[in-house]
Amino acid sequence: MKAIKFGTDGWRGEIGRDFTFENVELVAQAIADYFTRCPLPAARCPQVIVGYDTRFLSREFAQTVSRVLVANDIKVILSNQYCPTPTLSRAIVTKKARAGIMITASHNPYYFNGIKIKGDFGGSVESDVTEEIEKLLGKNKPKILSWEECKKSKNLEIANFLPDYKKSIKSYIDFRLLRSSKKKWKVLVDSMFGTGNGIIEDLLKETNIKVTTIHSEQNPLFPGINPEPIPKNLKEAARLLKNGDYDLAVITDGDADRIGALRPDGKFITPSLILSLTLLHFLKYRKWSGGVVKTISSSSLIDKITQRYNLKLWETPIGFKHICALMRKEDILIGGEESGGIGYKNYLFERDGILSALLLTEVLCAEKRGILGIIKDIEKEFGRFRYGRIDIHYPEEKKKGLMANLKKNPPSRLIGKRVVEIKKYDGVKLICSDGSWLLLRLSGTEPILRIYAEAGSEKEAERFLGEGKKIAYRV
């Protein structure tokens, strides 16, 4: 029971250790108990969408969830193949389902799996829902049918979610612009052995964009990498860009709800810069309006752009569910987080790595020039922002003392710069007089301390990260 704890986006555990069929049955029963005890709106169909990723046993875990839900007299629509998380989210909205359950551990190593719970709006449910589900764990013994019994039930439907998802993408992206581009752009796609494989290539096949793909095969071991689009996992893509003739690389994580990108020289384009590129594209070319949401760990470049265009800016704790909650209440043009999850106006209340990748190709076609030139102009107008992050192992027994000490006795200077503002609502963020900053934030589910920094140069950002490590080790 202690192993089952929902974090910022679902429950994850090691396969065979805490992510077991027995525990999945317990979670599925708690989900069933939660939804059956809540009265249904009159117009809402009482069905749940279930999907899964490319990980070891994901299909079998999805079948287990379905077997429990069907046994509890809940209608299930199960994906007929592995699918991206935003594909599941689209199916929830299209089919007017009550909820969705995605079997995925997202970017975690191959030996993890997990469960994400989506609401009827397509995005992740808020913490109050997962807290209630946690309280129901073990309250009732799981009801479960055999897979053969489940397949015969009128409450199980098996469907392909991809056609509707691709249709929604085609209605959002300006494919006429992509087809009419005079320049034949060359894009490298890395799907990291995950659920995004083949989708971007298929959608771009009739455009003037030539796609080359790596890591498109299904391999639950994610050989040599974790399926997280950060620099250390993108060495092959970076090498190909340095040695080849590509204008851009786009990368989707294990369940394809997050994006990474590389420049033609192989250097990483931070998610905050991806958000900024897309935001400016929406403002200049689509003439859209609305506010912007970022998390506490995102770049100050976003602040500069919103100030320049007089846009309202919200800042939230880390976790896309916080962004999603705001997007459902306010007129939000774009919202994103440091880890590569970005959501868009007139789309789902959910992040989508595939849509984000295609929007970057739209930026190239609209600007009619390379990404390096676009970035150079952004830096000329808004300044240089260099971002860094490290994760270090941090003992559980020291966690409480670190945050308590930081909040009570924060440093007045960092690498010789005066600290002028302190934010304490999600970790501790120390902001200096020139706008550079350092954030220390503890993982809620692992013995890990995450240290983030931003400054005007890579060297300064590295110095901030080093200072963050010193602060952590002093406790």
Q: Coil, strand or helix: which one is 258? A: coil
CATH number where 447 lies: 3.30.310.50
Q: pLDDT tens-digit profile of 352-397?
A: 999 999 999 999 999 999 999 999 999 999 999 999 999 999 988 8
Are 280 and 261 members of one domain? no
- Distance CA(128)–CA(125), nearest Å, equals 8
Cα separation of 227 and 248, whole Å? 19
Strand pairing report for 6-7 and 10-14 = antiparallel
Strand order in the sheet with 448-455: 386-393, 448-455, 437-442, 428-432, 417-423, 413-414
The answer to whether residues 62 and 159 belong to one domain is yes
Q: Is residue 376 part of a domain?
A: no
Domain boundary among 267, 293, 314: 267
Do 222 and 250 have their domain in common?
Answer: yes
CATH of residue 131's domain is 3.40.120.10
pLDDT of the residue at 2: 54
Structural domain including 208 reads: 182-267
What is the token pair recorded at 270? 């931070």
Alpha helices by DSSP H, listed for 104-222, are 127-136, 147-152, 162-172, 175-180, 199-204
Same domain as 288, residue 256 = no
Q: Are residues 57 and 148 in the same domain?
A: yes
255 and 282 part of one domain? no
What gap in Å lies between CA 280 and CA 374, rounded to an integer? Answer: 11
Q: What is the DSSP letter of 280?
A: H
Residue 406: its H or E element = helix 396-408
Same domain, 49 and 10: yes
Q: Please give the share of the chain, as a percent, with pLDDT higher than 90.
A: 90
First to last CA, the chain: 31
Whether residues 102 and 13 fall in one domain: yes
Same domain for 157 and 221: no
Residue 1 within any structural domain of the chain: no
82 SS3 class = coil
Same domain, 125 and 155: yes
Instruction: Provide the b/e sequence for 391-410 (b: ≥16 CB within 10 Å).
Output: eeebeeeebeebbeebeeee
Cα distances (angstroms) measured from residue 392 to each of 154, 172, 196, 233: 50, 40, 29, 17
Tell how far CA 256 is from the center of its chain: 8
Q: How confident is the model over 198-247, as pLDDT tens digits?
A: 999 999 999 999 999 999 999 999 998 999 999 999 999 999 999 888 99
Q: Are residues 156 and 274 in the same domain?
A: no
Q: In this predicted model, what pLDDT tens digit does every residue of 146-182 receive, in sequence order? A: 999 999 999 999 999 999 999 999 999 999 999 999 9
Domain count, the chain: 4
Domain boundary among 233, 267, 301: 267
Q: Are residues 87 and 149 in the same domain?
A: yes
Alpha-carbon distance 181 to 175, whole Å? 10
Contact 294, 335 (CB under 8 A): yes
Last residue of a domain, one of 267, 285, 301: 267
Task: List, as one string, the DSSP characters of 365-395.
Answer: HHHTS-HHHHHHHHHHHH---EEEEEEEE--
pLDDT of residue 42: 43
130 confidence band (pLDDT: 50, 70, 90): very high
